[in-house]
Amino acid sequence: MSENELVAWLRRRIRAAGSVQVGPGDDAAVLAPSPGSRIVVTVDAFLEGSHFPSGSQPARIGHKVIAASVSDIAAMGCYPSHCLVTLGLNEACRQEFVRELGEAMIAAAEKYGAPVAGGDVTSGPSPLVVSVTVLGETRDLSPVLRSGARAGDRIFVTGSLGGSLLGRHFEAEPRIEEGLFLNRDMGVTAMIDVSDGLSTDLNHIAGESGVGAIISETAIPVSDDARELEQQDGVAAIRHALEDGEDFELLFTVPAERTALLRESWSFDVPVTEIGEMGGDQVLIERADGSRQTLEPRGYEHTWSGQ
Amino acid sequence: MSENELVAWLRRRIRAAGSVQVGPGDDAAVLAPSPGSRIVVTVDAFLEGSHFPSGSQPARIGHKVIAASVSDIAAMGCYPSHCLVTLGLNEACRQEFVRELGEAMIAAAEKYGAPVAGGDVTSGPSPLVVSVTVLGETRDLSPVLRSGARAGDRIFVTGSLGGSLLGRHFEAEPRIEEGLFLNRDMGVTAMIDVSDGLSTDLNHIAGESGVGAIISETAIPVSDDARELEQQDGVAAIRHALEDGEDFELLFTVPAERTALLRESWSFDVPVTEIGEMGGDQVLIERADGSRQTLEPRGYEHTWSGQ
């Protein structure tokens, strides 16, 4: 199968996805947003060797790049609507590899309600590189920014953190319904997805909101993966939970008076945990012994837009 | 300057661009489309060595990647509104290089009315790779597709073609105003930008419209660059005009009864030339000696979405 034949296959495969007024096969895709809706849009680049190891299964890569990108829309508390992708292939990318990669991206995008509406393929000598654009809609909601946290707001996180590099990063599940619920029904004041690590992402919220925070080490939901990784590398599981990143859980702040309602009405499979409170002018962690330290933003920092 | 400092610089530089409700610094950008407008969106990937030579000046690369991407929105006869970019940098990308690349992208995006609203940066061992997403709006117009040409429609192209690889591809100017005029005032039936070469792009229109075409070799506006390239490589200038691509001119079809009006009301600096007519079931070229041949789609074919 030549590159042109591969491209033709991908185009046919996507054309079937529907829900797009004009899809692949024209100069641009044409989308009809919900009336009155604002558009949210994010782009992410994924590089072989940085965002997934060389030799990774194409189906795992395809799922991850879509899930991780859609997670940014979930973190805005908005509705994902469409994906567009660019693939930078190389000689080592065989037909079967590209088919599986394409099918996995298409399947993940449909699963998350954001069908692939277009893309571009290039070939060159580089490692595999995938760039994903995700569009979403606010519909009747306002997007939840990182900058809305206020002193006294309580800090929560979904799921458990750390050790995703053992493989969980490939199984990312964007918290779309949770994000919509938190936005629509809970009036959360700030939200971010934990992609760079809890320490870094909490600092993002604090920095953008102009208020400090304190979290309790003993409250942080440490994943089993983080504990397993501690056995392998001798780095404390709590540090993995704070710094590893790629958890794609939601970190958010909610006014103190709504925390009881939040706990009562939380009906999702993934747990939600209160880990601290906004306030002061520093980002601190209270250790198990009661001491307080600055929580440095350690972890991945490979983006210049936080997207 | 570390990667983080570079990212911070880019974020500040973009934040100043305005016209975006939420720009870089959150999980996603938030954009407010014109009421009732549909959204057009295109993605393109540009790879060092394929889309620009290694060692190219960053300012030239930055201009080209934005101009070539915006050209897809122009070819829909729509209004460009925002750009998002991902950069895959490598060790060889020094601070000054990235600054110049960034400034050129930001400047071009502003020039074309589509300010940069977000992005992502990665670093790895690969050649430089840039991926550009451009959003646009239909506002009160309908997008011009490739599929609307009818038998009897006349075929036109803006500018002159061929030899862009001598350097003109770096100076691409998307025909935004021309595309809007052709859509709004001329009722063009199909339109595409000449990125893959006239022979390929005319075949795109014919294939999507389900009708053949015939163009006249002697009518094709051959660029001076194509003639210069003929002197260098011995390949006929007309073949460069038909096959080189990266001209970023508009190729479009218009009902025969409106061609006179089109000529009279064309007020742009770039010339417009009638080169043929839609009809039959093959795509043909009439040579200078009156013979007719199939016009094979030869030229770049590196995209699977035409975007």
| pLDDT tens-digit map of B274-286 | 999 999 999 999 9
CA distance B225 to B163: 5
Residues A164 and A287 in one domain: yes
Across residues A216-242, what is the average pLDDT?
Answer: 96
Closest residue on chain A to B122 (Cα) = A302
Residues B159 and B204 in one domain: yes
Instruction: Tokens for A307, please give them.
Output: 């997207």
To the question of pTM greater than 0.90 for the whole model, the response is yes
Residues B215 and B252 in one domain: yes
Q: Which residues of A touch B147 (CB under 8 A)?
A: 26
Q: Does B141 touch chain A (CB under 8 A)?
A: no
Closest to B216 (Cα-Cα) out of B293, B166, B121, B286:
B286
CA distance B25 to B117: 10
pLDDT tens for residues B43-75?
999 998 888 988 899 999 999 999 999 999 999
Residues A172 and A208 in one domain: yes
Residues A73 and A173 in one domain: no
Quote the minimal CA–CA distance from B17 to chain A in Å.
14
Q: Does A75 touch chain B (CB under 8 A)?
A: yes
Determine, yes or no, domain membership for A142. Answer: no
Inspect the interface and report whether the beta carbons of A3 and B208 lie closer than 8 Å: no
Has residue A117 got a pLDDT over 70?
yes
CA distance A8 to B63: 30
Residues B42 and B112 in one domain: yes
Of the partner residues B28, B40, B123, the one whose CB lies closest to the CB of residue A41: B28
| Total domain count, chain A | 2
Instruction: Tokens for B303, please give them.
Output: 């995209």
pLDDT tens for residues A4-35?
666 677 777 776 555 566 666 788 888 888 88
Has residue A256 got a pLDDT over 90?
yes
CATH number of the domain to which A9 belongs:
3.30.1330.10
Amino acid identity, residue A189? T
Phi, then psi, of B70 in degrees rounded to 5: -60, -30
- Tell me the CB-side half-sphere exposure of residue B52, using CA atoms within 13 A: 26
Neighbour order of strands in the sheet with B292-294: B190-193, B250-254, B154-158, B272-278, B213-216, B283-286, B292-294
Question: Of the ranges A152-161, A253-262, A271-280, B122-131, which one carries the lowest mean pLDDT score?
Answer: B122-131
Q: What is the gyration radius of the CA atoms in chain B, in angstroms?
A: 20
Residues A112 and A56 in one domain: yes
Q: Which residues of B touch A139 (CB under 8 A)?
A: none
Determine, yes or no, domain membership for B89. Answer: yes
Of the partner residues B6, B29, B136, the one whose CB lies closest to the CB of residue A40: B29
Does residue B141 or residue A2 have the better pLDDT? B141
Q: Which residues of A touch B21 (CB under 8 A)?
A: 38
What pLDDT is recorded for position A9?
Answer: 75
Across residues A148-158, what is the average pLDDT?
Answer: 98
Has residue A304 got a pLDDT over 60?
no
Contact A191, A250 (CB under 8 A): yes
Quote the minimal CA–CA distance from A288 to chain B in Å.
31
Number of C-beta neighbours around residue B180 at 10 A: 17
Indicate the average pLDDT of chain B.
90
CA dihedral A16, A18, A23, A25 (to 10 degrees): 20
Instruction: Tokens for B76, please give them.
Output: 């829909």
Model confidence at A307, pLDDT cuts 50, 70, 90, reads: very low
Determine, yes or no, domain membership for B299. Answer: no
Contact B243, B197 (CB under 8 A): yes
Residues B250 and B287 in one domain: yes
Residues B114 and B195 in one domain: no
Closest to B306 (Cα-Cα) out of B212, B190, B159:
B190
Across residues B171-191, what is the average pLDDT?
Answer: 97
Burial B137-151 (b: 16+ CB within 10 A, else e): bbbebebbbbbbbee
Determine, yes or no, domain membership for A306. Answer: no
CATH number of the domain to which A169 belongs:
3.90.650.10
**Binding-face residues of A in 20-59 toward B, CB within 8 A:** 21-22, 24-33, 35-36, 38-51
Q: Which residue range forms the structural domain that includes residue A124?
A: 3-137
Model confidence at A119, pLDDT cuts 50, 70, 90, reads: confident
- Tell me the CB-side half-sphere exposure of residue A176, using CA atoms within 13 A: 21
Question: Of the ranges A20-34, A114-128, B283-297, which one carries the lowest mean pLDDT score?
Answer: A20-34
Has residue A127 got a pLDDT over 50?
yes
Residues B263 and B208 in one domain: yes
Q: Does A115 touch chain B (CB under 8 A)?
A: no
The share of chain B scoring above pLDDT 70, in percent, equals 92
What pLDDT is recorded for position B50?
Answer: 84
Quote the minimal CA–CA distance from A295 to chain B in Å.
18
Residues B128 and B79 in one domain: yes
Determine, yes or no, domain membership for B200. Answer: yes
Q: Which residues of A touch B127 (CB under 8 A)?
A: 124-126
Model confidence at A305, pLDDT cuts 50, 70, 90, reads: very low
Has residue A265 got a pLDDT over 70?
yes
* Beta strand spans in B148-207 (E): 154-158, 190-193
pLDDT tens for residues B224-250?
999 999 999 999 999 999 999 999 999
Q: Identify the H or E element spanning B133.
A: strand B129-137
Beta strand pairing call for B292-294 and B283-286: antiparallel
SS3 label, residue A87? strand
Has residue A214 got a pLDDT over 60?
yes
What pLDDT is recorded for position A26?
Answer: 82
CA distance B255 to A137: 38
Question: Of the ranges A38-47, A194-203, B136-145, B291-300, which one carries the lowest mean pLDDT score?
Answer: B291-300
Determine, yes or no, domain membership for B306. Answer: no
Determine, yes or no, domain membership for B253. Answer: yes
Has residue A301 got a pLDDT over 50?
no
pLDDT tens for residues B68-97?
999 999 999 999 999 999 998 887 778 889
What pLDDT is recorded for position A42?
Answer: 95
Closest to B250 (Cα-Cα) out of A117, A27, A29, A25:
A27
Closest to B209 (Cα-Cα) out of B167, B258, B252:
B252
Residues B290 and B196 in one domain: yes
